[in-house]
C-alpha cells in the first residue's frame, strides 16, 4: 500500500516537475537563447523586465492624442516608443512583448533580403498572435502557415479574379446609393450629424456580405455586430499579450472573447449549412463562399477545406474584407475635406471620365488622380499599420546577419511610410502627386511602401479594395462636397486597424448634385457621442427613461439616434399634421361645450399632446394612448419628482420603497408593444423593425417610454407658457391672431376668441383664449 502511495506521490512530483521545466523553457530558456543569438548578430534594443518585457513602457507611452491641428505625423504619436527606440537602436532592434522577443523592422533593405531568402510558404505568424486572435481569424488565410496556407490560398484566389470582381460592381453601386439616400433622409429630417465612419463601415460590411457570402444585410448584421464587439474586447482594452498566463489577468475579457468567437462560429456554421443545402438543389453561386464550398466538395484532398477551416475563412474575410477598405475611404474623406483643391480635382475627373452616366467598371481605371489620392491615403494612414512574421527556419540574410528559427518579427508599415529618409522632408504632407508617374510614390526604396504587405503573402483582397474604393468615393463625390469644421479633433488610434478614434461624424449638411455642389461641414470632433449622463440620474430616472435616447451614452447613443432619426423626416412629420389638427379640434370642441365653468388648460393640453404622440408615433388609439400616458406620467413623474427623495444618497431608494416600486411601469409599455404586429412607418414601426435586427426588447421599451414622456410634455408646456404670456400681453395675442387670419385665412380657423376661460392653472385672468 505504502509503495503505491509513494509511487503516486513520485508520479505527481514528476508531473509537476515536468510542467515546471516546460514553463521555464518556454517562458525563459528558449526566448533568452533566441535573444542571445540575435544579439550576437549585433542587434540591440531596450532592456526588458521579466515577465512583462517592454510592455509597461509601451503601454505607458500610448496616449490618445487629440488635436485640433491636423498633423499627419502619426508615427510619433501612435508609437512614441518605436520612434524613441529607433533613435537609440536604428531601424532594426529587439524588443519584448512579455516573454516573447520581437525583431522590429522598419528597414526596407532588410525586408527585400528577407523576401528573396524566404518563400511565402515558409513564413510563419507569431504563435502569440495566432493564439490571441484566434476567436477573430481562427486558422484562416491570414494566420495559416506552410502547406495549410498554400492550400487555402489556392482555393481562395479564384474568387478574386477580374470576372468575379466585375460582377460585384453593381451590388457595390446599389448598396452605396442606399447609404447616400439615407444620408439625404437624415439631412432632410434635421439630423444634427452623421457618423461617416460608421456609415461607411456598415456599407462596406453589407457589400462583403452580399458579394462574398450572398447574404442580405439583415443576416449579415448579427455577424458584424458580434465581430465589432469581439474587436472591442480584444483590442480596446489594455491587455498583456505575450505575458505568461496574461489572459488570466483579464478573465472576464478572455471569456467574453471566447464566447463571442463561438457565437460567430455558430452563425457561420448555420450559414454554411444553408448554402450546402441550397447548392444541392440549384446552381451554385460564384461568390467566395460558393467557391469555397465547391472546392471543398469536389476539390479532392489537396484542395478541400474542413468545415472549421471554412468557418475560419468566412471570419477572416468578413472582418478583413470590409473594415480595411471602409477605413481607407473614411481617411480619404478627411483628407479631401482638408484639401479642397484635391476634392475639386477629383470631382472634375469624375465629371470627365464618368460623366452623368452610371458607373461602368471599365471606366474606373481612367480615374488616375483618384488612384494617386488612394495611394497617398494608404501611405499616410495605412489601414493595416503593421505586419507580423515568424521565421520557420534560420534565415541567412547576409554574411554577418542570421535570423534564427522561431524569431518573431514586427514590420512597422506606418514607420516606413512616415520615414523622411525614404520620402523626403515633406513625408508628413498630403501630396498625391508623388504617385503621378511612380507606383512607389517616389519612395527611395521599393520596399518602403507596403500598404498591402509584401511577397507571396501580400493581401489577397487588394483588387477588391481598389474597385470598392473607387466606386464608393465616386458616388460620394458625385452627390456631396465637404469641408472641415474648425473644431475638428484629430485622434487616430489603433484597434488592430488604424482608425479615427471617435469616428468621423458630419453635422447636418446640405447636399447637391454634380452640377450644384454645396458645402458639407465635417466635424470630426465627436463631442456628442462622448458626453455621458450622471449615473445618479440614469439610475434614478430609469423607470421613466430606461436607457433610451435621453439617457444612453457613447456607441449606444449613436445606434439609438441612428435608428430613430428617420421617424422625424419631413414626410413622416407632414403625415402627422392632420392627426394633430383633429385631436386639437376635439379638445377645443370639448372646451366649447364645457359651459362657463373653469377649464384646467395645462391638464387639457398635456393630455392632448399625449394623445397626439400616442397616435402619431405609436399608432395606438386615443384610449390606449391615454392609458399608457396616464400611467407613465402619473406614476413615474409624480412618484419620481413630486415626492422629496434622496437622490445620490446611498440606498436612498430604500427610504421610499412605495414610490420606488410604484415607479416601475414597464409591463404596461410591454403589453402595448406586443399588441403591435403591423408594419407602420411611425416611430414604433421603425423600432420594431430594428428589434428584428438586434434592438433588444428592453431597448424598445426604453425608447417608447422616453418618447412618450419626452415628446409630449415638453411641447405641451411650451404651449401652456405661451398662453400665459399671451394672456398677459394682449397686444401680442392680437398680432398673432391677425397673422393667422392673414396667413391661414378665416375659413380654416374654426373659432378664435370664442372661449371665455375663467381660470387656467397659472392664471385666472386668461380670457378670450383660442
Ligand atoms: C484597404 C484595404 C486593405 C488593406 C490595407 C489590407 C492590408 C493587408 C496587409 C498589410 C496584409 C498582409 C498581412 C501580413 O503580411 O501579415 C493583408 C493580408 C490579407 N488581406 Fe488584406 N488588406 C485590405 C483589404 C482586404 C480585403 C478587401 C480582403 C478580403 C476580401 C483582405 C483579405 C486579406 C487576407 C485574407 C490576407 C492574408 C493573405 C495571406 O496571408 O495570404 N484584405 N492585407
Determine the pLDDT at residue 530. 60
| 457 Cβ inside 6 Å of ligand 1 | yes
Atom index in ligand 1 nearest the CA of residue 327 equals: 1
Binding residues: 459
- In order of start, what are the domains of the chain with their CATH numbers? 83-514 (1.10.630.10), 529-717 (1.10.630.10), 729-770 (no CATH)
**For a pocket test of ligand 1, which of 384, 458, 496 has the largest count of ligand atoms closer than 8 A to its C-beta?**
384
| 557 Cβ inside 6 Å of ligand 1 | no
Determine the pLDDT at residue 509. 45
Determine the pLDDT at residue 420. 97
pLDDT at residue 386 greater than cutoff 60: yes
| 191 Cβ inside 6 Å of ligand 1 | no
| 384 Cβ inside 6 Å of ligand 1 | yes
Identify which has the larger pLDDT, 28 or 207: 207
**684 contacts 563 by C-beta, under 8 angstroms:** no
CA of 140 to the centre of ligand 1 (A): 12
**For a pocket test of ligand 1, which of 461, 471, 494, 498 has the largest count of ligand atoms closer than 8 A to its C-beta?**
461
pLDDT at residue 291 greater than cutoff 50: yes
Q: What is the pLDDT of residues 97-149, one digit of tens each?
A: 988 999 999 999 999 999 888 888 889 999 988 988 888 899 999 999 999 99
Say which residues have a Cβ less than 8 Å from residue 511's Cβ, sequence separation at least 6. 183, 184, 187, 479, 480, 518, 520
Which residue owns the Cα nearest ligand 1 atom 39?
Answer: 457
Strand 92-97 and strand 100-105: the pairing is antiparallel
Write the DSSP symbol of residue 51: T
Identify which has the larger pLDDT, 417 or 2: 417
Query: Grid coordinates 406614476 are at which residue?
Result: 635
| 124 Cβ inside 6 Å of ligand 1 | no
Distance of CA 639 to the CA centre of its chain: 39
- Lowest-pLDDT choice from 10-14, 56-60, 179-183: 56-60
Average pLDDT, the chain: 78
Instruction: Quote the pTM value.
Output: 0.68
Q: What is the pLDDT of residues 60-93, one digit of tens each?
A: 645 555 555 788 999 998 999 999 999 999 999 9
CA of 314 to the centre of ligand 1 (A): 14
| 204 Cβ inside 6 Å of ligand 1 | no
d(CA 467, CA 361): 8
Atom index in ligand 1 nearest the CA of residue 144 equals: 40
Say which residues have a Cβ less than 8 Å from residue 195's Cβ, sequence separation at least 6. 503, 504, 505, 506, 526, 529, 558, 562
CA of 470 to the centre of ligand 1 (A): 18
Atom index in ligand 1 nearest the CA of residue 378 equals: 5
Strand 386-391 and strand 408-412: the pairing is antiparallel
Q: What is the pLDDT of residues 458-490, one digit of tens each?
A: 999 999 999 999 999 999 998 887 777 655 678
Binding residues for heme: 459
- Phi, psi (deg, nearest 5) at residue 31: -60, -40
Which residue owns the Cα nearest ligand 1 atom 30?
Answer: 321
Nearest CA among 318, 229, 227 for reference residue 272: 318
| 374 Cβ inside 6 Å of ligand 1 | no
CA of 682 to the centre of ligand 1 (A): 43
Q: What is the pLDDT of residues 564-575, one digit of tens each?
A: 766 666 666 777
Atom index in ligand 1 nearest the CA of residue 464 equals: 27
- Phi, psi (deg, nearest 5) at residue 226: -70, -40
- Lowest-pLDDT choice from 191-195, 238-242, 264-268, 758-762: 758-762
Which residue owns the Cα nearest ligand 1 atom 37?
Answer: 142
Which residue owns the Cα nearest ligand 1 atom 8?
Answer: 452
Write the DSSP symbol of residue 67: B
CA of 597 to the centre of ligand 1 (A): 78
Which residue owns the Cα nearest ligand 1 atom 3?
Answer: 324
Identify which has the larger pLDDT, 23 or 169: 169
Atom index in ligand 1 nearest the CA of residue 465 equals: 27
Distance of CA 408 to the CA centre of its chain: 31
Atom index in ligand 1 nearest the CA of residue 208 equals: 30
- pLDDT, mean of residues 750-766: 35
Distance of CA 451 to the CA centre of its chain: 22
The residues with which 388 forms a beta bridge, in sequence order, are 410
Rg (CA), the chain: 32
Q: Residues of the chain with pLDDT > 70: what percent?
A: 73
Atom index in ligand 1 nearest the CA of residue 142 equals: 37
pLDDT bucket at 230, cuts 50 / 70 / 90: confident
Identify which has the larger pLDDT, 280 or 4: 4
Atom index in ligand 1 nearest the CA of residue 454 equals: 15
Q: Residues of the chain with pLDDT > 90: what percent?
A: 27
| 385 Cβ inside 6 Å of ligand 1 | no
pLDDT at residue 644 greater than cutoff 80: no
d(CA 602, CA 633): 14
Determine the pLDDT at residue 175. 94
Distance of CA 601 to the CA centre of its chain: 47
pLDDT at residue 308 greater than cutoff 60: yes
**565 contacts 195 by C-beta, under 8 angstroms:** no
Which residue owns the Cα nearest ligand 1 atom 19?
Answer: 459
Nearest CA among 619, 303, 735 for reference residue 294: 303
Nearest CA among 312, 331, 441 for reference residue 385: 331
Atom index in ligand 1 nearest the CA of residue 153 equals: 41
DSSP letter string, 358-427? PP-GGGGGG-HHHHHHHHHHHHHS-SS-EEEEEESS-EEEETTEEEPTT-EEEEEHHHHHT-HHHH-TTT
pLDDT at residue 615 greater than cutoff 70: yes
Determine the pLDDT at residue 516. 31
Handedness of CA 403, 404, 410, 411 (dihedral sign): positive
pLDDT bucket at 639, cuts 50 / 70 / 90: low
**For a pocket test of ligand 1, which of 138, 139, 149, 324 has the largest count of ligand atoms closer than 8 A to its C-beta?**
324
Q: What is the pLDDT of residues 37-51, one digit of tens each?
A: 888 888 899 998 888
Q: What is the pLDDT of residues 685-721, one digit of tens each?
A: 766 666 555 667 777 777 777 776 666 677 888 888 8
- Cβ-count burial 198-210 (b if 16+ within 10 Å, e if not): bbbbbbbbbbbbb
The HSE-up count of residue 248 (CA atoms within 13 Å, CB side) is: 3
Determine the pLDDT at residue 526. 37
Nearest CA among 521, 481, 480 for reference residue 504: 521
Q: What is the pLDDT of residues 232-244, one digit of tens each?
A: 887 765 677 878 8
The residues with which 104 forms a beta bridge, in sequence order, are 93, 410
CA of 460 to the centre of ligand 1 (A): 6
ipTM exceeds 0.85, yes or no: yes
CA of 467 to the centre of ligand 1 (A): 15
| 461 Cβ inside 6 Å of ligand 1 | yes
Q: What is the pLDDT of residues 505-533, one digit of tens each?
A: 554 443 333 333 333 434 333 345 566 77
CA of 105 to the centre of ligand 1 (A): 19
CA of 98 to the centre of ligand 1 (A): 27
d(CA 517, CA 519): 7
CA of 705 to the centre of ligand 1 (A): 45
Angle at 364 between CA 363 and CA 367, to 5 degrees: 105
Atom index in ligand 1 nearest the CA of residue 458 equals: 12
Determine the pLDDT at residue 247. 74
Amino acid at each position: 500500500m505504502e509503495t503505491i502511495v509513494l509511487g503516486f506521490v513520485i508520479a505527481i512530483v514528476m508531473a509537476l516537475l515536468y510542467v515546471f521545466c516546460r514553463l521555464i523553457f518556454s517562458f525563459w530558456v528558449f526566448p533568452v537563447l533566441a535573444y542571445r543569438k540575435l544579439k550576437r548578430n549585433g542587434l540591440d534594443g531596450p532592456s526588458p523586465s521579466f515577465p512583462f518585457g517592454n510592455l509597461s513602457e509601451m503601454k505607458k507611452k500610448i496616449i490618445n492624442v487629440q488635436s485640433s491641428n491636423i498633423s499627419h505625423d502619426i508615427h510619433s504619436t501612435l508609437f512614441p516608443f518605436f520612434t524613441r527606440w529607433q533613435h537609440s537602436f536604428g531601424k532594426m532592434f529587439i524588443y519584448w512583448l512579455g516573454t516573447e522577443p520581437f525583431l522590429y523592422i522598419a528597414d526596407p533593405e532588410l525586408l527585400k533580403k528577407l523576401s528573396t531568402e524566404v518563400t511565402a510558404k515558409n513564413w510563419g505568424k507569431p504563435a502569440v498572435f495566432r493564439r490571441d486572435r484566434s476567436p477573430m481569424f481562427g486558422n484562416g488565410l491570414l494566420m495559416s502557415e506552410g502547406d495549410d496556407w498554400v492550400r487555402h490560398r489556392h482555393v481562395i484566389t479564384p474568387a478574386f479574379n477580374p470576372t468575379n470582381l466585375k460582377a460585384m460592381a453593381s451590388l457595390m453601386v446599389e448598396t452605396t446609393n442606399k447609404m447616400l439616400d439615407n444620408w439625404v433622409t437624415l439631412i432632410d429630417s434635421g439630423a444634427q450629424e452623421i457618423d461617416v465612419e460608421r456609415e461607411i463601415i456598415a456599407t462596406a460590411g453589407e457589400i462583403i456580405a452580399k458579394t462574398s457570402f450572398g447574404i442580405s444585410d439583415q443576416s449579415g448584421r448579427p455577424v458584424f455586430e458580434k465581430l465589432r464587439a469581439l474587436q472591442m474586447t480584444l483590442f480596446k482594452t489594455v491587455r498583456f499579450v505575450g505575458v505568461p498566463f496574461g489572459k488570466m489577468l483579464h478573465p472576464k475579457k478572455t471569456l467574453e472573447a471566447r464566447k463571442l468567437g463561438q457565437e460567430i462560429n455558430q452563425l457561420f456554421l448555420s450559414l454554411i449549412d444553408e448554402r450546402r443545402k441550397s447548392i444541392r438543389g440549384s446552381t451554385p453561386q460564384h461568390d467566395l463562399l460558393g467557391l469555397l464550398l465547391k472546392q471543398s466538395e469536389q476539390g479532392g484532398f489537396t484542395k478541400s477545406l474542413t468545415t472549421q477551416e471554412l468557418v475560419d475563412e468566412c471570419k477572416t474575410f468578413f472582418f478583413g474584407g470590409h473594415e480595411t477598405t471602409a477605413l481607407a475611404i473614411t481617411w480619404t474623406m478627411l483628407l479631401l475635406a482638408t484639401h479642397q483643391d484635391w476634392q475639386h480635382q477629383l470631382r472634375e475627373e469624375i465629371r470627365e471620365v464618368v460623366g452623368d452616366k452610371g458607373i461602368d467598371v471599365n471606366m474606373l481605371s481612367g480615374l488616375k488622380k483618384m488612384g494617386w489620392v488612394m495611394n497617398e491615403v494608404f501611405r499616410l494612414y495605412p489601414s493595416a499599420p503593421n505586419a507580423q512574421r515568424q521565421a520557420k527556419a534560420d534565415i541567412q540574410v547576409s554574411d554577418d546577419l542570421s535570423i534564427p528559427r522561431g524569431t518573431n518579427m514586427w514590420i512597422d508599415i506606418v514607420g516606413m511610410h512616415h520615414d523622411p529618409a525614404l520620402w523626403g522632408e515633406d513625408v508628413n504632407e498630403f501630396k498625391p502627386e508623388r504617385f503621378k508617374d511612380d507606383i512607389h510614390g517616389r519612395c527611395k526604396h521599393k520596399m518602403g511602401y507596403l500598404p498591402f504587405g509584401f511577397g507571396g503573402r501580400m493581401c489577397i483582397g487588394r483588387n477588391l479594395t481598389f474597385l470598392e474604393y473607387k466606386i464608393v468615393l465616386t458616388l460620394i463625390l458625385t452627390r456631396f462636397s465637404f469641408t472641415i469644421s474648425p473644431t475638428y479633433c484629430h485622434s487616430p488610434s489603433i484597434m488592430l486597424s488604424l482608425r479615427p478614434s471617435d469616428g468621423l461624424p458630419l453635422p447636418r449638411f446640405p447636399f447637391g448634385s454634380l452640377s450644384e455642389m454645396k458645402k458639407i461641414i465635417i466635424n470630426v470632433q465627436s463631442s456628442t457621442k462622448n458626453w455621458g449622463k450622471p449615473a445618479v440620474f440614469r439610475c434614478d430616472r430609469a423607470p421613466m427613461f430606461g436607457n433610451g435616447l435621453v439617457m444612453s451614452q457613447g456607441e449606444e447613443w449613436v445606434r439609438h439616434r441612428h435608428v430613430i432619426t428617420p421617424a422625424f423626416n419631413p414626410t413622416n412629420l407632414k403625415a402627422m399634421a392632420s392627426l394633430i389638427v383633429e385631436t386639437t379640434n376635439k379638445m377645443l370642441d370639448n372646451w366649447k361645450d364645457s359651459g362657463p365653468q373653469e377649464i384646467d388648460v395645462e391638464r387639457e393640453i398635456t393630455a392632448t399632446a399625449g394623445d397626439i404622440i400616442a397616435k402619431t408615433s405609436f399608432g395606438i388609439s386615443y384610449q390606449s394612448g391615454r392609458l399608457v400616458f396616464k400611467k407613465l406620467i402619473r406614476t413615474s413623474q409624480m412618484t419620481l419628482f413630486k415626492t422629496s427623495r434622496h437622490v445620490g444618497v446611498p440606498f436612498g431608494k430604500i427610504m421610499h420603497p412605495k414610490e420606488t416600486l410604484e415607479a416601475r411601469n414597464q409591463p404596461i409599455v410591454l403589453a402595448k408593444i406586443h399588441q403591435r404586429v403591423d408594419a407602420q412607418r411611425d416611430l414604433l414601426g421603425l423600432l420594431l423593425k430594428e428589434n428584428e435586427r438586434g434592438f433588444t426588447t428592453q431597448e424598445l421599451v426604453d425608447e417608447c417610454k422616453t418618447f412618450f414622456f419626452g415628446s409630449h410634455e415638453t411641447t405641451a408646456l411650451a404651449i401652456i407658457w405661451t398662453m400665459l404670456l399671451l394672456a398677459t400681453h394682449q397686444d401680442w395675442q392680437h398680432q398673432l391672431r391677425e397673422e393667422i387670419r392673414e396667413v391661414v385665412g378665416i375659413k380654416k380657423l374654426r373659432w378664435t376668441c370664442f372661449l371665455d376661460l375663467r381660470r387656467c392653472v397659472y392664471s385666472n385672468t386668461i380670457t378670450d383664449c383660442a
